[in-house]
Amino acid sequence: MPIIVPAVRAQAASPETLERAFEGAYADCWTPVFRLALAWTNDWPAAEEIAQESFARLWMRRNSVDWSEPLLPWLLTTARHLATDRFRRLRRLVSQSRAIETTLDLEQHARWLDIRAAFSRLSPLERAALALTAISGLDSEEAATTLGTTSAAVRSAVFRARRKLEEA
Amino acid sequence: MNGQSTEDRGNNADRRIGEWADLSATSHPLAARPEVLRASVEAGVMERRGSRRSVPGLAMVMLVVLVVAGVGFAVSRQRSVVAPSASASAVASASVSANPSASPRPSASPQPLITSPGDRVFAMGRTDERSGWAFLWSIDPTNVEKKRPMLLVTEDGGATWRDATPRRTGFGPVIEFVDADHGWYLSGPMLWRTTDGARSWQETSLPTPFVVDTAAMSFVSASTGYLLAPADSATNSDTWVVYRTDDGGASLQAVSEVVLPGETASSSPDPAIAFSDRLDGVVAGWNVALQTHDGGAHWSPVDLPAPVGSKTATYVGLDQLRAFGPYVVLLAWMGGPGATAYLSDDAGRTWRQASTAWSQSTSDIWAIVDGQTWLDFTAAGSGSIQVGATSDAGRSWTELTFPFSWRVTAASFVSATDGWAILGTDCRASSDCWLGRLAQTHDGGVTWQPVQ
């Protein structure tokens, strides 16, 4: 669930405390947030942008965030929304129209192209359900909350995803 | 399949999933390091205090602002496009709030005329053939005095502009004009309203103890409108309050509450609200779309048919929602790669899919002129753009592809031929690429000229 709480709660925190909390959130949550964005878009540069923007938004709202609560649900939901919104579509087009510029080295890049092709047979929902449950360890209820659907739909999407990958 | 055992196929899936997991764990871009993000945010690029409407995106990093030089909008025509005229909509965009107890206070003194809105336009809207507005993040980022968000309005088709910014504003207001004189501007907790073409503004505050930085609004006349705002922006609540005004926004009355699952004051982007008349309206969030036919007192889910080629109708998100009398246009995400257009011609009671397989399979920007006339701008690969146009609510489309080196980030048309667009820069070169410069077309997007 999102973790916006009355501003007074965070105003008591010192800047140094907030910075440490933010760095902790980055260390704990970057990979699952990036994975959700990657699953939704199947586009490495766009996914890094989405994850990056999600963390930037967290820092923008630092004074209204309850840092004692788990931050991953908020970050995942924000990333899912960003991955779907109009600006993201535009960026995706841009990234598709150019040579892929990623943090990957050449060998990783080649592996990514192969994996991306296999995962392109899956729908965004199927990839995202798989990433959240089989890889990031959320249960189907938590994944459903993030993806704005039902746990049954998540389980079904994971089943379809595996079936498609079996054939890939 | 093909001689593989069940176990082999399962292993194949596990191997693929493992490869994906391993590789995806290697992403650690320098630009996303906490210290870099903090510095970028604190540099002010995204400091909009929660205005969710305008998502700067990639924004934050390595801010090398490349101002695009030269505006060569002329393009060559490869296929003819039919762009029949249609009546223009006066509505520019959408949303916001007000308080019955606040006393009106004029603001915004006369400003010198401005010849160009520049290249940092964030949002714009056409009110009629002569009038329109543009919201800029700054007109001159190198000038301390001018490095501030501004609302500009024009009454001569964009030849000249005047500063019409309310006394206080953030970077992501919600702006709506129903005609050249009557408009509303929501920023933070304040709703500003004008009855004289933004020469003066009166302010009211939301009837809520919370600072509202997320809202949507829909006016059906200069006096009657609806507002959708979070019930409690300080908690995780996904309950939203529907307010109504019958005095142009001077006062608001809470009409009902609606639940938008998973959508709180901090989620993004905003939900939308669109009313056809005083009774009939639609609210669309990220997981649900609702309809009312009694002025917002009661709401029920909108029943959308499954998109062509899909067995199920799973509404997962909102792109645009607009109402033009009984016609309501909903651009919805239905789980596919692009938006699906739905049209209701009975104020939201029944719906039909109005986009073709072509248009719903693309990533695009739509200009909704009215209930029948729409344009769809789609990047068609490197250096070209595809424009789809319909004047019969999607029953037939004409398509045109031509070379175009700009990105259309927003479009607002008053007819099938006459419109404005924000042309954005290349996101590879600029971290401010969601901003752009205003261009106008008089031939349905075939040729463009800078608005200045």
Q: What is the pLDDT of residue B222?
A: 95
A36, pLDDT greater than 90: yes
- The residue written with tokens 């986009």 in the block is B355
The pLDDT value recorded for residue A74 is 84
- pLDDT tens digits, one per residue of A38-53: 998 888 877 887 888 8
Q: Which amino acid is at B42?
A: E
Instruction: Give the closest of B25, B33, B269 to A31, CB-based.
Output: B25
pLDDT value at position B451? 83
pLDDT the model gives residue B418: 93
pLDDT confidence of residue A151: 86
Q: Which two tokens stand for residue A100?
A: 């892929």
B269 neighbourhood in chain A, CB within 8 Å: 81, 85-86
Strand partners, B106: none
Q: Where are the domains of chain A?
A: 1-105, 121-168
pLDDT at site B307: 80
How is domain A1-105 classified at the CATH fold level? Rna Polymerase Sigma Factor; Chain: A (1.10.1740)
Residues of A within 8 A of B49 (CB-CB) are 60
Asked if B41's CB is within 8 angstroms of A59's CB, the reply is: yes
CA distance B12 to chain A (A): 5
The correct CATH number of A121-168 out of 1.10.10.10, 3.20.190.10, 3.40.50.2300, 1.20.120.80 is: 1.10.10.10
What's the average model confidence in pLDDT over A3-22?
Answer: 61
Pull the structure tokens for residue B49. 């205090």
Is residue B145 within 8 A of residue B186, CB to CB? The reply is no
pLDDT of residue B308: 76
Cα–Cα distance for residue pair B112/B163, rounded to 1 Å: 8
| pLDDT at residue B225 in the model | 96
Task: Give the containing element (helix H, strand E) for B360.
Answer: helix B357-360
More confident: B383 or A120: A120
Residues of A within 8 A of B19 (CB-CB) are: 111, 115
Question: Which of A61-75, A94-108, B268-282, B352-366 is most confident?
Answer: B268-282
Q: Are strands B190-194 and B161-163 parallel, antiparallel or unpaired?
A: unpaired
Are B341 and B330 in contact by the 8 Å Cβ rule? The answer is yes
Longest dimension (CA), chain B: 80
H or E stretch covering A147? helix A140-147
Residues of B in contact with A59 (CB under 8 A): 34, 37-38, 41
Higher pLDDT, A167 or B106: A167
Q: Are strands B339-344 and B352-353 parallel, antiparallel or unpaired?
A: antiparallel
pTM of this prediction? Answer: 0.62
From the CB of residue A4, how many other CB atoms can be counted at a distance below 10 Å? Answer: 25
Q: Report helix angle A44-60 to A72-84, nearest 10.
A: 130
Model confidence band, residue A68 (pLDDT cutoffs 50, 70, 90): confident
Q: What is the pLDDT of residue B140?
A: 67
User: Which residues in chain A (101-120) have CB-CB distances under 8 A to chain B?
Assistant: 101, 103-104, 108, 111-112, 115, 118-119
- Sign of the dihedral through C-alpha A14, A20, A23, A27: negative
pLDDT in tens, chain B (452 residues): 445 666 666 688 899 999 999 999 988 777 678 887 777 666 544 433 333 333 333 333 222 222 222 333 333 222 222 222 222 222 223 222 223 333 333 344 445 577 778 888 888 999 998 999 999 877 766 665 566 788 999 999 888 999 999 987 776 788 999 999 999 998 777 889 999 999 999 998 877 665 555 688 999 999 999 999 888 766 667 889 999 999 999 998 999 999 988 777 666 567 899 999 999 999 998 778 999 999 999 999 999 988 877 777 778 778 889 999 999 999 887 766 567 889 999 999 999 988 765 444 445 788 999 999 999 887 766 677 888 889 999 888 888 887 777 778 789 999 999 999 988 765 555 555 567 889 999 988 888 888 86
Helix (H, G, I), strand (E, B) or coil at B268: coil
Chain B nearest-CA residue for A6: B234
- As a whole number of angstroms, the distance between CA B48 and CA B55 comes to 10
Residue A29, both tokens: 């949550």
For residue B382, the model assigns a pLDDT of 63
pLDDT of residue B17: 93
Q: How confident is the model at residue A109 (pLDDT cuts 50, 70, 90)?
A: confident
Interface of A with B in 47-76 (CB under 8 A): 47-49, 51-53, 55-57, 59-61, 64, 74
Distance from CA of B278 to the nearest CA of A (A): 30
B234 to A118: CB separation less than 8 angstroms, yes or no: no
Give the span between the Cα atoms of B374 and B365, in whole angstroms. 10
All residues at 6 or more sequence positions from B248 whose CB lies less than 8 Å from its CB, including other chains? B182, B193, B195, B222, B223, B225
Residues facing residue B126 across a β-bridge: B132
How close B390 gets to chain A, by Cα (Å)?
Answer: 21
Q: How many residues are present in chain A?
A: 168
Q: What type of residue sits at position A83?
A: A
Percentage of the residues of chain A whose pLDDT score is greater than 90:
17
Nearest CA-CA partner of B395 in B428, B425, B356: B356
Which residue spans within B55-168 are E strands per DSSP?
113-114, 121-126, 132-136, 150-154, 161-163
Q: Which of residues 4-33 of A touch B (CB under 8 A)?
A: 4-7, 19, 22-23, 26, 30-31
